[in-house]
Chain A
Amino acid sequence: MSQTTAPILSILTFFPLAACLILPFIKNEKTIRFFTLTVGIVEILLALPLFRFDLTQPGYQFVEKLNWIPQWGLTYYLGMDGISLLMVLLTILLLPLCVMCSWTYISKRIKEFHFSLLMMTSACIGVFVSLDLVLFYIFWEAMLVPMFLLIAVWGGPERRYASVKFFLYTLAGSTMLLVAIIALYKAGGTFSIPDLTAQTFPFRFQFWVFLAMALAFAIKVPMFPFHTWLPAAHVEAPTAGSVLLASILLKMGAYGFLRFCLPITPDASVYFAPMMIAISVTSILYGGFVALGQKDMKKLIAYSSVAHMGFVTLGIFLFTIKGFEGALMVMLNHGITTGALFMLVGAIYERSHSREITKNMGLGKYLPAYMFFFGLFALSSLGFPGTNSFVGEMLVLIGVFKSSPWLGAVVIPGVMMGTAYMLRLGQKLAWGEPTQAKSWHDLNLREWGYLVPLAILVFYIGLAPGLTLKAIDPTLNRVLERFTDKSKQTVVAVVTPTQKSNVVGLSSLPR
Chain B
Amino acid sequence: MKFDDISLLLPELVQILIILGLFVQTLMKSETGATTDIGVRWVPWAAAVGIIVSAYSLKTSGSLFWDAYQMDGLSQFFKMAVALGFTIATLNAVNTPTVKNEQRTDYFLFFALSSLGLMLLASSVELITIYISLEIASYSLYAIIPLRGNDPRAAEAGIKYILFGAAATAIALFGLSYILASQNTTYLHILATKSWSWSAAPMAVVGLTLFMVGFFFKLALFPFHFWCPDVYDGTSNETAAFAATLPKLGAVVILIRLVALLKPEIEIVSIMAVLSAASMTFGNLAALAQKDVKRILGYSSVAHAGYVLVGLVAASAAGLSAAGFYSLIYLLMNLTCFWVICSLSRDGKNLLLDDLNGLYQRAPYLAFILAVGAFALVGLPPTAGFIGKLFLLTAAWNRGYNWLIIIAALNTAISIYYYLNIVRHAYTHEAEENIQFEEPRRYSSIWGGVLAASLLVLGVMPEPVFRWMEAAARQIIP
* Contact of B424 with A164 in the complex, beta carbons under 8 Å: yes
Residue A176 interfacial (CB < 8 Å): yes
Interface of B is mostly: helix
5 tightest A-B CB contacts, nearest first: A138-B381, A172-B413, A175-B409, A152-B428, A141-B381
A182 to B393, Cβ gap below 8 A?
yes
Chain A residues proximal to chain B, CB less than 8 Å: 68-72, 109, 112, 134, 137-139, 141-142, 144-145, 148-149, 152-153, 159-160, 163-164, 167-168, 171-172, 175-176, 178-179, 182-183, 185-186
The complex places the Cα of A138 from the Cα of B384 at a distance, in Å, of 11
Contact check, A164 vs B420: say whether CB atoms are below 8 A apart: yes
Which one of A69, A159, A163, A178 lies within 8 Å of B393 (CB-CB)? A178
Q: A145 to B380, Cβ gap below 8 A?
A: yes
**Minimal beta-carbon separation of B253 from chain A (angstroms):** 20
Question: Across the two chains, which residue of chain A brings its CB closest to B398?
Answer: A186
B12 is an interface residue with CB less than 8 A from chain A? no
Number of A-B contacts (CB under 8 A): 82
Does A71 contact B413, Cβ atoms closer than 8 Å?
no
User: What chain B residues lie within 8 Å of A172 (beta carbons)?
Assistant: 413
Do A186 and B463 have beta carbons less than 8 Å apart? no
What are the residues of chain B within 8 A of A145 when measuring CB–CB? Answer: 371, 375, 380
Q: A160-B428, A179-B405 are in contact. Are A72 and B386 (CB under 8 A)?
A: no
B interface with A by C-beta (< 8 Å): 360, 371, 375, 380-382, 386, 390-391, 393-394, 397-398, 402, 405-406, 409-410, 412-413, 416-417, 420, 424, 427-428, 462-463, 466-467, 470
- CB within 8 Å for A168 and B417 given contacts A134-B390, A142-B382, A153-B428: yes
Contact B381–A171 (Cβ < 8 Å): no
Residue in contact with A182 in the complex, picked from B397, B424, B462, CB distance below 8 Å: B397
B427→A69 contact, CB < 8 A: no
Q: Which residue of B lies closest to A70 (CB)?
A: B463
- Given A142-B381, A172-B413, A185-B397; 20 other pairs, CB 8 A cutoff: A69-B462, A72-B391, A109-B360, A112-B360, A139-B381, A141-B386, A145-B380, A152-B427, A160-B424, A160-B428, A164-B420, A164-B424, A171-B413, A175-B410, A175-B412, A176-B410, A178-B393, A178-B409, A183-B402, A185-B394
| B381-A137 in contact (CB<8A) | yes
Q: Which residues of A contact B405 (CB under 8 A)?
A: 179, 182
Q: List chain B residues, Cβ under 8 A from A152.
A: 424, 427-428
Measured between C-beta atoms, what is the minimum distance from B455 to chain A in Å?
Answer: 14
The reply to whether A69 and B466 form a contact with Cβ atoms under 8 Å apart is yes
Cβ contacts under 8 Å, B463 to chain A: 68-71
Cβ distance B465 to chain A, nearest Cβ, rounded Å = 11
Q: What are 16 A-B residue pairs whose CB atoms fall within 8 Å in the complex? A: A69-B462, A72-B390, A139-B381, A141-B386, A145-B380, A148-B420, A149-B427, A152-B428, A153-B427, A163-B424, A171-B380, A172-B413, A175-B409, A179-B406, A185-B394, A186-B397
Complex CA–CA separation, A179 to B405 (angstroms): 7
Q: Which residues of B sit under 8 angstroms from A168, Cβ to Cβ? A: 413, 416-417
Which residue of the partner chain B has the closest CB to A24? B364
Q: Which residues of the partner chain A approach B409 to less than 8 Å between Cβ atoms?
A: 175-176, 178-179
Query: How many whole Å from A108's CB to the nearest CB in chain B?
Result: 11
B415 → chain A, closest Cβ, in Å?
10
Cα–Cα distance between A168 and B415 once the two chains are bound (Å): 10
Cα–Cα, bound, A241→B30 (Å): 63
Residues of A within 8 A of B398 (CB): 186
Separation of A175 and B386 alpha carbons in the complex (Å): 11
Q: Closest residue to A109 on the B side, CB-wise?
A: B360
Point out the residues of chain A lying under 8 angstroms from B428, CB to CB.
152-153, 159-160, 163
Nearest CB in chain B to that of A144: its residue: B380
Distance between Cα atoms of A159 and B428 in the complex (Å)? 9
Complex Cα distance, B391 from A172, in Å, reads: 20
Are A164 and B417 closer than 8 Å at their CB atoms?
A: yes
Which residues of A sit under 8 angstroms from B420, Cβ to Cβ? 148, 164, 167
* Contact between A179 and B381, CB atoms less than 8 A apart: no
Q: How far is the CA of A134 from the CA of B360 in the complex (A)?
A: 31
Closest CB in chain B relative to A272 CB, distance in Å = 20
In the complex, chain B residues whose CB is within 8 Å of the CB of A171: 380, 412-413, 416
The residue on A at minimum CB distance from B467 is: A71
CB of A228, distance to nearest CB on chain B (Å): 16
Q: Which has the most chain A C-beta neighbours within 10 Å: B380, B412, B413?
A: B413
Nearest residue (CB) in B for A141 is: B381
A72 to B319, CA, bound (A): 12
Residue of A nearest to B393 (CB): A182
